[in-house]
Structure 1
Amino acid sequence: MKIKIFTTLLFLCSIVAFSQEQKMSESEISSFKNAVNNTAKSTKTLTADFIQYKHLDFLEKDIETSGKMNFKAPGALQWEYLKPYKYSIVFKNNKIYINDAGKKSNIDNNKMFDKLNKLIVGSVNGNMFDDKEFTISYFKTRDFNITKLLPKDATLKKYIKQMELYFDKSGTVSQVKMIESSNDFTKIIFKNKAINAKIDDSVFNN
């Protein structure tokens, strides 16, 4: 009986160890980057449902919202929140367009929003391997390849401490985690992804 319990414990420990993050080797990093870049180049459109969790230390439960994401190369991106409220934001032509339940506004391009725009678009299409902008480290688990990005820009660092992108084995982004300087974070999980499906341009008319 004791042998069975011991064997079971060893098995469980091996599962936990296997699922933990491990650093990629240089050859693994090179292969991973090539695969992701090839996927990004061949991705003309991407649609997905998403669930977003906003973690704030002073709240007992994370704030959960959900909706749909649409991306069209080279840089048109729409986040449409459907539950528990309706709100959409579009990144297009170096501008940000907001529709808050029918109340519309936009933000012209400036340095800070340009960086955020590239950061968000890059987090969707996976094209974020910019050593000039980020200090990047690479990890792997059984299910994901993970990149962790530390911004180098002083202004951006005031808002974002670290970005984490979780790629499935096909090379597309499945999860995004943005950790703020306060250590609060936003986590987005993509579901029902569709690559290169037709998206009408009117989707990005916010």
Structure 2
Amino acid sequence: MIKNIFITIGLCVSGFFFAQNTAMSGAEAKAFVARVSSETKEIKTLQSDFTQTKKMDFLDKNIVTYGRMSLKTPNMLSWKYTKPYQYSIVFRENKIFINDQGKKSAVDARSKTFEKINKLIVGSSNGQMFNDPEFSVAYLKNGSSNIARFTPKSAQLLKYIKQIELYFPKNQSTVSQVNMTEASGDTTNIVFKNTRINAPVAASEFSL
């Protein structure tokens, strides 16, 4: 169950893009973190369409899905996949609610693994993800983006995730794509578009 949730969330992974990434200097990283943390403090809601591409070693073709991500501070988050199938994951009230094409279930999210993943995703909208003590963070850049690469410190989380990369366009403080490499070597890439900040988000986005 836990592994399947992480695979589906994809909440995400390196190896999809060929732009040359280089390490930021200490001063660049400090300025980047300060800017993102400051500019995202006013975000109360965030909603975005996404395209997720999953690459698995045992499949010849990538799995491509489409959907909508909705976030409401301080801790409500939903991923609703709409094509080619319907599947929803909602983080709310310390639980993960799942609707798999009409089959509903709930998982206690109080475990450290789920708590940290949820916190990292929500933190990407307010800059707080840089302060999570369970991840080491490396800061990189290329011609179009600033990149924060998170590597889990805990053995528990490393069972599922090798690293997560958050891409921030040079002129933005919100994430434009999330890349995740799983411990198995499988990768997931999520690209966001049509991002709307502080627009009304229907309560139904966080229900199943």
TM-score w.r.t. structure 1 length? Answer: 0.86
Letter in 2 for 1:144: S
102-111 or 51-60: which moved more?
102-111
The Cα RMSD (Å) is 1.5
- Cα distance, 1:38 vs structure 2: 1.6
Partner of 2:160: 159
Shift of 1:103: 1.6
Q: Secondary structure at the match of 2:130?
A: coil
Output the CA distance in 1 between the equivalents of 2:55 and 2:73: 31
Give the number of the structure whose alpha-carbon radius of gyration is greater. Answer: 1
Shift of 1:131: 5.5
Higher relative contact order (CA 8 A, sep 6+): 2
What SS does the aligned partner of 1:202 have?
A: helix
2:126 and 2:62 mapped to 1: Cα distance?
26
Report matched runs for 1:1-206 at 5 Å. 19-111=19-111, 112-123=113-124, 125-130=126-131, 132-169=133-170, 170-206=172-208
The answer to whether the 8 Å contact 2:43/2:125 transfers is: no
Deviation at 1:130, TM superposition (A): 2.5
Unaligned runs of 5+ in 1: 1-18
Q: Equivalent pairs: percent with the same residue?
A: 53
Larger proportion of helix: 1
Closer, same or farther: CA 123–179 of 1 in aligned 2, 3 Å: farther
1:203 Cα offset (Å):
2.0
How far residue 123 of structure 1 moved from its aligned partner, in angstroms, is 4.3
Contact 1:65 1:83 in 2 (8 A): yes
- Give the partner amino acid of 1:175: Q
User: What is the number of equivalent residue pairs in this alignment?
Assistant: 188
Q: Structure 1 residue 24: deviation in Å?
A: 0.7
Give the drift of 1:106: 0.7
Does the 8 Å CA contact 1:125/1:173 hold for their aligned counterparts?
no
- The letter of the residue matching 1:138 is Y
* TM-score between the two structures when normalised by the length of structure 2: 0.85
**Distance in 2 between the 1:197 and 1:150 partners?**
32
